[in-house]
Amino acid sequence: MLRRLAVRLLAGAVVVGLLAACTPAGAEHPEPAAAKDVGVQLFHWTWDAIAAECPALAEAGYGWVLTSPPQEHVLGEQWWTVYQPVSYRVESRLGTREQLAAMTAACAEVGVDVVADAVVNHMTGQDEPGVGWAGSRYAHYDYPGLWSDAEGHFHHCGLTADDDISRYDDVVEVRSCELVNLADLATETEPVRARLREYLADLVDLGIAGVRIDAAKHMAPPDVEAIVADLPAQALVLSEVIRGPQEPIRPEEYLGAGDVLEFAWGRDVKGIVQGGALRLATELGSHEGSATYLPSDAAWIFVDNHDTERGRQTLSYADGQDYVLANVLMLASHYGRPIVYSGYAFSDRDAGPEQDGSGAVLPATCPEDAGPARAWADGEWVCQHAWPEIAGVVGWRAAVGPAGEDAQVQVDGRVVAFSRGERGWLVVNGNAEDVTSTFETGLLPGAYCDVVAGRLADGACTGQVVEVADGGHATVTVPARSAVAVHVGARQDG
Ligand code: LAG
Ligand code: CA
């Protein structure tokens, strides 16, 4: 289903007559939409910690969680050991099979879906034999009872000196050679596909509602389609296909398997936020903007993820207020659907999360003052999803629902306002100074609480109250490089 894009960019006008000019006094406010399309990637959160967090996620307005890979993996402290599968036993340093099932049950109880990261392109990258987290023995191309070279389960591409991928402009190499020495599964063969389907079916039995397909670019689209073929129709499938401008493999090729992660959005929004012309963010993915984005209804966007926060292509928690602005723009976006990222602080790219003596990951906890201004020590859980500014706008998105016919954008210089009919209104300020202005909000008259800087607690707003007058006008101060967001679910006089 194609969602209608109703972006209207009206440069240079502070107040533009949009929506009905007057609303009858005392008209009924609409109910919040209670939409559930915001995901959150809880990178390296344990199953127990996610289970404990789900009520807060539901309360904030998140619809689903993306976990780190749940299968048995190689030993080692680095974060990326979980991307080297040893078997498909659901037993990892993030928790046991029982804990995973308990997590999906606890989250389902509060209406939050759990989506697992599925590593199905490859096995380990270890040249020496070893033992995995759950005790399974393995060698680079031999996983007893599962995969072996003798049975033809692996690719040996023979196209490069060490069988490693070297050229991303060669489709065959990208899909049949090894990604950083990781033993590459022969995903075009039926036995391999069948066993991978079995793994995903097991995850579904454990209550998993969808999968991220790790390294999808490194498998041909029919392989990915075959691997996800038996998932329930409503399951979320997120293919990870990193868009490379000069590369022949296009993310669009994977739409037959389900939805696809759009890497371009996070890369493009970084420069836009740093430059301050926030209007440009509303054009990302629209026809005027870039014809190269995935179709909106199949695209998932993100400011950063665990890979990009370790590179320089996107913003990350270390960018503080710019990161908040980018997240607000994502959550207000008419394009695609958003995934908020939440990880731990690091200065070494390889550093894993804090672990106990056995290597089990310690449960995540969020500091009380988690937010853009805090200084983070290595290993601390950054809890971006709980930063008040981000969580508040997640609640805004849940309350206003998907952008429909009533979705509008108004631009005045570096100030951009998003209107969502009578359900909500949001404004971002790309200037280095506060801006006070009178806006046409489209809202019914009333006193609304700004959920970026404040919260409605026991009927009182801890931040700015936006007084909407008859006709929808409101005079609002938008803090420098920040935002104000109001919605029908947080009315002081409601
Ligand atoms: C992904 N998407 O396609 C993940 O998002 C990404 O995080 C994974 O790489 C990659 N695919 C493989 O699943 C990560 C790290 C790599 C790491 C790899 C395997 O970014 O740095 O490679 O996981 O653990 C590491 C070393 C390599 C080494 C390899 C094999 O960095 O030097 O060759 O392990 O031992
Ligand atoms: Ca492959």
Spatial separation of the C-alpha atoms in residues 271 and 433, rounded to whole Å: 19
Averaged pLDDT, 25-44: 90
Sign of CA pseudo-dihedral 459, 463, 468, 472: negative
Contact 306, 352 (CB under 8 A): no
Instruction: To the nearest 10°, report the CA torsion of 43, 48, 54, 57.
Output: -30
How confident is residue 25, by pLDDT bands cut at 50, 70 and 90? low
Amino acid in position 283: E
368: annotated active-site residue = no
| Ligand 1 atom nearest to CA at 119 | 13
The C-alpha atoms of residue 152 and residue 76 are separated, in whole angstroms, by 28
Q: How many CA atoms lie within 13 A of 333 on its CB side?
A: 33
pLDDT score recorded for residue 493? 83
| 84 in contact with ligand 1, CB cutoff 6 A | yes
Look at residue 286 in the predicted model and tell me its pLDDT: 82
Say if residue 479's pLDDT is above 90.
yes
For the chain, the structural domain boundaries read 14-22+405-490, 39-399
Instruction: Tell me which ligand sits closest to the C-alpha of residue 162.
Output: 1
Mean pLDDT of the chain: 94
What is the number of other CB atoms lying within 10 angstroms of the CB of residue 420?
27
Averaged pLDDT, 46-50: 99
Model confidence at 494, pLDDT cuts 50, 70, 90, reads: confident
Q: Is there an atom of ligand 1 within 6 Å of 71 CB?
A: no
pTM of the model: 0.94
User: Is 429:414 a contact under the CB 8 Å cutoff?
Assistant: yes
Among 114-118, 149-153, 393-397, 402-406, which stretch is predicted with the lowest mean pLDDT?
402-406
Of all ligands present, the nearest one to the C-alpha of 175 is 2
Instruction: Give 372's DSSP letter.
Output: T
Question: Residue 29 corresponds to which tokens in the numbers above?
Answer: 């406010």
Pocket probe mutation, ligand 1, options 72, 77, 80, 168, max atoms within 8 Å of Cβ: 80
Q: Which CA distances in Å does 249 have to 212, 227, 245?
A: 18, 19, 10
Query: What's the pLDDT tens digit per position in 405-462?
Result: 889 999 999 999 999 999 999 999 999 999 999 999 999 999 999 999 999 999 999 9
Closest CA to 207 of 104, 353, 127, 302: 104
Confidence of residue 292 (pLDDT cuts 50, 70, 90): confident
Residue 15 has pLDDT above 50, yes or no: no
Helices and strands, number each (H, E), in the chain: 9, 22
Output phi, psi for 41, to 5 deg: -90, 110
Q: Are 293 and 264 in contact (CB under 8 A)?
A: yes
CB 435 within 8 A of CB 478: yes
Residue 3 or residue 248, greater confidence? 248
Half-sphere exposure of 243 (CA within 13 A, CB side): 18
Write down the pLDDT at residue 21.
40
Q: What is the pLDDT of residues 237-270, one digit of tens each?
A: 999 999 998 999 999 999 999 999 999 999 999 9
Q: What spacing in Å lies between the alpha carbon of 178 and ligand 1's midpoint?
A: 11
d(CA 81, CA 68): 11
Specify whether 184 is catalytic.
no
Q: What is the pLDDT of residue 397?
A: 98
| Active-site hit among 72, 214, 223, 253 | 214
Taking only the tens place, the pLDDT of each residue in 272-287 is 999 999 999 999 998 6
pLDDT > 90 in the chain, percent: 90
The pLDDT value given to residue 280: 96
Domain covering 14-22+405-490: architecture: Sandwich (2.60)
Mutate to test the pocket of ligand 1, among 67, 165, 182 (most ligand atoms within 8 A of CB): 182
Chain mean position to CA 415: 25
- What number is the average pLDDT over the span 465-493? 97
User: Which residue puts its alpha carbon closest to atom 16 of ligand 1?
Assistant: 80
Residue nearest to atom 1 of ligand 1 (CA): 215
CB neighbours of residue 169 within 10 Å: 11
Taking the C-alpha atoms of residue 172 and residue 182, their distance in angstroms, rounded to an integer, is: 16
Cross-strand bridge partners of residue 456: 461
Please check whether residue 401 is in contact with residue 30, taking contact to mean a CB–CB distance below 8 angstroms. no
Instruction: Specify the pLDDT at position 312.
Output: 86
275 CA from centroid of ligand 2 (Å): 39
In sequence order, the β-bridge partners of residue 361 are 355
Statement: residue 17 has pLDDT above 60: no
pLDDT at 265: 97
pLDDT at 245: 86
Q: Is 215 in the pocket of ligand 1 (CB under 6 A)?
A: yes
Residue of 83, 241, 341 to mutate, ligand 1, most atoms within 8 A of C-beta: 83
Burial class (CB in 10 A: 0-12, 13-18, 19+), 405: exposed
Binned at pLDDT 50, 70 and 90, residue 212 comes out as very high
What does the pLDDT look like over 151-183, one tens digit per residue? 999 999 999 999 999 999 999 999 999 999 999
Q: Indicate whether 13 pLDDT > 70.
A: no
Q: What is the reported pLDDT for 290?
A: 54
The catalytically annotated residue of 240, 262, 389, 422 is 240
Q: What CATH code would you report for 39-399?
A: 3.20.20.80
CA of 169 to the centre of ligand 2 (A): 15
| Mean predicted confidence (pLDDT) in 16-38 | 69
